[in-house]
Structure 1
Amino acid sequence: MGDAAGVGPEIISKAFASGELFQIGRPLVIGDYELMERAVDITNTELNVVPVKDPEECVFEPGTIEVLDLNLLPKDLPFGQVSEKAGDAAFRYVEKAVELAKESKIHAICTAPLNKEAMQKAGHMYPGHTEILAELTNTEDFSMMLSAPNLKVIHLTTHIGLRKAIDTINPERTHKVITLADETLKNAGLENPRIAVCGINPHAGENGLFGEGEEEEKLIPAIKQAQEEGINVEGPYPADTLFFRAARGDFDMVVACYHDQGHVPIKVMGLEAGVNITVGLKGGIIRTSVDHGTAFDIAGKNIADERSLIAAYKDAVELAPTK
């Protein structure tokens, strides 16, 4: 449910009211029953909110929001304020989701936004969802993947400066991310995923004309190794044309070398359609998320847009391991 002082409960309510969630999957909310009831009242969605204690109790009827009720927060929790209680609850919701995923009681996790300040005030010192999930699943090798209509991108590096990012990239990391991309798409039912790797430099270095041989040192050995292992991967290709080619259908996944190289093309396609995905978690757990924050400034006003949450839910269903 995310941080209940933000827009999470509202966009969940609107997403359920759309009817789209039930068309492709079986949605269950992990959070607080009373706060979901409040969100339904605020959004005038006229949904029936039902508390449950276990996913096995759910019937998944359209028009109903079933909530695995952890009962952690007061019903009158103020909107738009950093709250230690709400930060702790947001962490506990994720913790419960991972527990259920490990037990195979749920097949994927889709997260509404949390507030890092509130969570850290509660003593959970993580930069965000990804690091929480990595620790709870004892995962060391993971990656951020972004998805938009017709385009999926996975990253070699994310939240570090550009100079450090280039220094950090090595053949081992490149090979690992290529493998994660391949495994994620195959687990979701795609038999022979087509993967392409971006160059680091303009024109992918153009045979040494640009850069200092980063493609030859950091990318090409990993690409060749993956090809020898039977992975359908190509590159490195110039980023300025690769994303166009991927969006028109030439590739199923693009490997981006650093944060903005991968984020900009996704966000140009529309913030409301972007989805943040954590891949590589142990146990094959898939986690997707909205591509926006808690929006404290509009929380409780019934103006938050649910489209990113619906997109995240659809990606969770699509990427959930078919087994």
Structure 2
Amino acid sequence: MAKSKTLRVAVAGPNWGENHLQGAAESEHGEPCALWGRSDKPEYRALADRVGVPFYTDYSLMLSESKPDVVTVATQEPGHAPFTMEALAAGCDVYCEKVISDSHDAAREMVRAAAAAKRELNIGYNYRYSVSCQWMRRQIEAGRIGEPLFGQLSAFTWCVHHMTDYVNSVLGTPTRVMARLELDPLADLPHKSIYEPGHLFETFAYAAYTRKVYTVEYESGALLQAGATDYADISEPAARLMIQGTAGRVELDDLTGKVTLWEAAREATVYTPSQILDPIGLRMNCVEAVKDFLRALAAGEGAPIPGQDGVNMILLEEAIMRASKSGGWEDVA
């Protein structure tokens, strides 16, 4: 039986947006209807042709001609707010990639505009869709480690931002932070990050640069110790995370990797993703995140990762930068 197509999805940004197109194409609730790119490159038109949608370099024209129900935004951060605002004004729900914007003022305006338009704004923190992260969350929510006390996270450059969002979704609301952020490279040793310096914004740093180490305190009293550096190589694990509770411990050895659960016993429970059954990898996490947003829209539910979560991550990053300058605890606000 052919799947029912109900939501027309236009994608802004043909690079990472290729995953958005795949998510829309695989969804039971949507179908791609257009692709926008900033420049007219043969590879962008070839992508649109493969998916069977028209390609545009005029964003406003795309909205008016393709008449999407949903727009997904996969451009660089400075474009997130203007593309989102125009899509909301056109009556579309929006899936916007992380970081939500390059400033918290713009991010808050995006959230306000979505509420005023009665549209959903979802932020693409797709690490939450790693099958390993989801299994880890289920064990914590089931009480298998008791009350979470603290976590330890190490990650590759900007992955620490994404994984901190995941930890926030498990441990709750951050209240304050202490940090050390070193932006300047070591002598005669430039940073490796392919994104540096494009992810240093006026009030926060998205990448890790030389050293980004911080402790987050949550409303529950739980703590997270996190660290990353741009000197890490992309071939290293994207992230390693341990969360210790009052009755056990759970450890993740990579973004979509093995998870080990100890419950006050020498024997451990080990979860390993299936190479056959599970969607594995960063791109597939994105595909699943887009599909889940379309599912939520079709079901009349709110955004799975609402815009306010994106604002909250900017507020945390800003507190990290302030704490590094002050040398003390800074409130997340």
TM range (shorter): 0.3 to 0.5
Which structure has the higher relative contact order (CA within 8 Å, separation 6+)?
Answer: 1
Higher strand share: 2
TM-score normalised according to structure 2 size: 0.35
